[in-house]
Structure 1
Amino acid sequence: MKKRLVIATLLVIVSLSFFGVPSPDQGRVLAATTTTQNNQLAVEAKADQLIQTGRSLIGKATYSNSEYKPTSPYKFSCATFLMYIFGENGVDLATYNEDYMMQQGTYVARNQLQKGDLLFFNSKNTSNVPDHVAMYIGDNKVIHMADPKQNIVISDLDSKPYYKDNYVTARRVLPSLLPSNPATKGDSIVELSYDLMNKVTMGNVNDEKAMKFTGAGFVNYVYKKNGVSIGSTTIKEQMNQGATVSRANLKKGDLIFFSNAIGSSTPGFVGIYAGDHRIVIPNSNGILTRVLFVDYYDQRFLTAKRVFTEKSAPVVVPPTVSATSADKLVVFATSLTSKVKFGYVYDEKSLTFTSAGFTYYVYKNQGIDLKSKLASQQAKIGIAVQKANLQKGDLILFSTDNKGTNIKQTGIYIGGSQFVSLSTSGSVLKESLNSDWAKKNYVSARRGL
Structure 2
Amino acid sequence: MKTICLYFEIHQNIHLKRYRFFDIGTDHYYYDDYENECSITNTVEHSYLPALQTLLQMIKENPGFFKVAFSISGCAIELLENCAPAVIELLQELNETGCVEFLAEPYSHGLSSLANEESFREETLRMSRKIKELFGKSPKVFRNSSLIYSDDIGSTVASMGFKGVLTEGAKHILGWKSPHFVYHCAQNPNLKLLLRDYKLSDDISLRFSNSTWSEYPLFADTYMDWIAAVPEEEQVINIFMELCALGMFQPLSSNILEFLKALPACAKARGISFSTPSEVIDHHKSVDALEVPYPMSWVDEERDISCWLGNGMQREAFNKLYSVADRVRICNDRRIKQDWDYLQATNNFRFMTTKSSSWNMYRGIYDSPYDAFTNYMNILGDFINRVNGMYPRDIDNEELNSLLTLIKNQGEELEVKDKEIARLNARMKKLVPEEGEPKKVSTRKSSAKK
State the TM-score, normalizing by the size of structure 2. 0.28
If you compute each CA radius of gyration, which structure gives the higher value, 1 or 2?
2
More helix by share: 2
Query: Going by fraction, where is strand more abundant, 1 or 2?
Result: 1
Instruction: Give the structure, 1 or 2, with the largest relative contact order (CA under 8 Å, sep 6 or more).
Output: 2
TM-score after normalising by structure 1:
0.28
